[in-house]
């Protein structure tokens, strides 16, 4: 949370130099936005945004900046210049007013004005914590809306009702900021966000913008479940993501899931995955998109339970949860408890809702399709371990899914529970399967087929549709361990097809 009050920001020397130069032109350079917020949170600052007050036009600012590096105009209508200096980039902009003139995220009329007052310019921002400025020359913080106090009190509060609702994406920003920085959404801000959801304002948002906010929530939050729980409370899941909302209240066997319903387990598993990715510090080895693949896989791994969960009672036939959920009430007597709760086939039933949910967020076909096998097979590591699966089964699994990736998902699934075994933090089934698959050299790739079409031609066979049949037959024998060398494969073909 927030570090001790610091009287000054530590800035790159170039910003101090430029501030001095701007002051000679009767202008002020003020650091704004996330960098000032992150300064108070004690976080590493990656990007610096500077608003320049007191100049008449962008041409003046461009001339001043060009003396210190290359300048690129990246947003003429927004008055944004990007300075490249010493291998780093800095954004410089003029203060601006924004007014909503049409629907959609581009429906804003923007007017830049170097003569504006800082408080007036900061009012267009979303939250008080993002409306703090730092006057470089005066070495002074500017805080017209009490953002520093809100940070000290771990509070997320919007600035202005009228401007806040103009960009519905701010509801998702509220969710991810609260989760990332450990903030509590102010009561009035929560109520406004809830009203925006109820009024359907979020429907105008393009999926790309939503996906960006979800990605920040998943990748930057120590516990992403906080953000998803807020989305549940705000009604976002019920209205826009019914696949996730359907998990709420779905019962599970207390033997395997004493933590509660499927929603509770999913949130615990999601946090376990976030911890797993952070704990292994794979920032250099694994890109953000790959991390998102695992986070979305665990988020979706039990979506199929909403439609497959069945309750069995001693005095009647099994009942599908989806059929009785609106009339079922928790039993008041031990004798009325279900004798069993099952979700047979949920891993397969989860494929389609996973696909539907992900395509609502992104159009990246290959990435989405790579997640589906992790959902479909997430039970395999535990099942194989319990059944003592042999080499052929493990080889066949490797043709369907990357086993190392699968074990990562299955581990988070296992750790997202409150059983004694899960609380130990050790997942024996995963370690067992990794050891077995590595010994077979199939932990992160399927076995390579020992024969190709050219080998069949060398045997005197004419190219034909039968080639596929022959190669598939050889590969099946190979997976079973009955063929282990190319010579044995050729012998098999000669015996069966020549």
**125 with 159: CB under 8 angstroms?**
yes
Number of domains in the chain: 4
Question: Which domain CATH number covers 199?
Answer: 1.10.110.30
Cα gap 437→494, rounded to integer Å: 31
262 in the same domain as 310: yes
Task: Indicate whether 27 and 53 sit together in one domain.
Answer: yes
Which contacts (CB < 8 Å, 24+ apart) does range 419-423 have?
419/256, 419/257, 419/258
**130 with 195, same domain?**
no
Residue 4 domain-assigned (yes or no): no
The band of 231, judged by pLDDT with boundaries at 50, 70 and 90, is very high
Q: Determine, yes or no, domain membership for 448.
A: no
Q: Are residues 205 and 256 in the same domain?
A: no
Least confident of 107-116, 194-203, 228-237, 413-422: 107-116
257 and 386 housed in the same domain: yes
DSSP 334: G
Other beta carbons within 10 angstroms of residue 373's beta carbon come to 18
Domain assignment present for residue 187? The answer is yes
Tell me: do 282 and 226 sit in the same domain: no
Domain with 135 in it: 13-154
What does the block give as tokens for 144?
């017209």
Q: Are residues 121 and 144 in the same domain?
A: yes
The last residue of a domain, from among 206, 240, 274: 240
What phi-psi label fits residue 200: left (phi over 0), alpha (psi between -120 and 50 degrees) or beta?
left
In this predicted structure, the answer to whether residue 137 has a pLDDT above a threshold of 70 is yes
* 206/277 same-domain check: no
Structural domain includes residue 40: yes
Q: Model confidence at 63, in pLDDT bands (50, 70, 90)? A: very high
User: Where is the domain boundary, 96, 128, 154?
Assistant: 154
Report angle CA 228, 208, 40 to the nearest 5 degrees: 60
Q: What is the pLDDT of residues 260-288, one digit of tens each?
A: 999 999 999 999 999 999 876 555 478 99
Q: Which residue has the tokens 């019920």?
A: 238
Are 117 and 22 part of one and the same domain? yes
pLDDT (average), residues 469-488:
95
Assess whether 29 and 106 both reside in one domain.
yes
pLDDT of residue 319: 86
Q: How far is CA 413 from CA 196, 235, 266, 267, 471, in A?
A: 34, 26, 8, 10, 37
Q: Is residue 431 part of a domain?
A: yes
Residues 382 and 359 in one domain: yes
Give the Cα separation of 33 and 130 in Å (integer): 5
- Please write the tens of the pLDDT for every residue from 314-328: 767 788 888 888 887
Give pLDDT tens digits for 297-308. Answer: 999 999 999 999
Q: 342 and 412 in one domain?
A: yes
The answer to whether residue 2 is domain-embedded is no
User: Chain-wide mean pLDDT for the chain?
Assistant: 91
Domain closes at, from 240, 269, 286:
240
């Amino acid at each position: 949370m927030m570090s001790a009050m610091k009287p000054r920001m530590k800035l790159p020397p170039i910003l101090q130099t430029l501030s001095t130069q701007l002051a000679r032109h009767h202008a002020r350079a003020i650091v704004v936005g996330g960098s000032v917020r992150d300064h108070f949170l004690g976080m590493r600052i990656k990007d610096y945004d500077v608003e320049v007050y007191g100049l008449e036009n962008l041409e003046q600012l461009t001339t001043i900046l060009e003396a210190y590096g290359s300048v690129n105009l990246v947003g003429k209508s927004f008055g944004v210049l990007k300075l490249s200096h010493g291998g780093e980039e800095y954004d410089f902009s003029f203060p601006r007013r924004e007014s909503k003139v049409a629907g959609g995220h581009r429906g804003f009329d923007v007017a830049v004005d170097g003569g504006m007052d800082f408080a007036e310019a900061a009012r267009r921002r979303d939250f008080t914590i993002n409306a703090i400025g730092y006057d470089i020359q005066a070495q002074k913080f500017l805080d017209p809306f009490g953002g520093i106090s809100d940070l000290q009190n771990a509070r997320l509060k919007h600035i202005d009702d009228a401007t806040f609702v103009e960009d519905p994406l701010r509801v998702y920003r509220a969710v991810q900021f609260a989760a990332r920085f450990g903030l509590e959404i102010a009561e009035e801000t929560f109520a406004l966000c809830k009203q925006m959801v109820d009024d359907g304002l979020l429907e105008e948002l393009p999926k790309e913008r939503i996906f960006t906010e979800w990605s920040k929530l998943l990748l930057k939050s120590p516990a992403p479940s906080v953000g998803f729980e807020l989305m549940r409370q705000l009604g976002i899941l019920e209205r826009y993501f019914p696949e996730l909302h359907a998990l709420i209240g779905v019962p599970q066997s207390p033997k395997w899931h004493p933590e509660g319903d499927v929603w509770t387990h999913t949130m615990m598993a999601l946090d376990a995955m976030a911890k797993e990715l952070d704990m292994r510090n794979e920032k250099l080895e694994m890109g953000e998109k790959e991390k998102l693949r695992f986070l979305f896989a665990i988020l979706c791994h039990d979506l199929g339970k909403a439609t497959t969960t069945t309750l069995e009672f001693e005095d009647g036939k099994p009942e599908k949860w989806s059929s009785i959920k609106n009339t079922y009430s928790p039993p008041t007597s031990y004798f009325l408890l279900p004798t069993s709760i099952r979700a047979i086939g949920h891993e397969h039933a989860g494929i389609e809702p996973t696909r539907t949910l992900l395509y609502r967020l992104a159009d990246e076909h290959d990435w989405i399709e790579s997640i589906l096998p992790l959902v479909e097979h997430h039970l395999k590591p535990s099942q194989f371990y319990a059944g003592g699966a042999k080499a052929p089964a493990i080889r066949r699994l490797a043709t369907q899914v990357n086993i190392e990736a699968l074990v990562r998902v299955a581990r988070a699934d296992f750790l997202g529970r409150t059983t004694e075994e899960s609380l130990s933090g050790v997942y024996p089934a995963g370690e067992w399967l990794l050891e077995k698959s590595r010994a077979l050299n199939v932990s992160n790739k399927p076995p390579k087929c020992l024969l190709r079409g050219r080998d069949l031609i060398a045997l005197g066979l004419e190219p034909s549709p039968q080639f596929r049949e022959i190669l598939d037959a050889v590969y099946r024998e190979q997976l079973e361990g009955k063929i282990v060398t190319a010579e044995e494969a050729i012998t098999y073909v000669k015996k069966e097809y020549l």
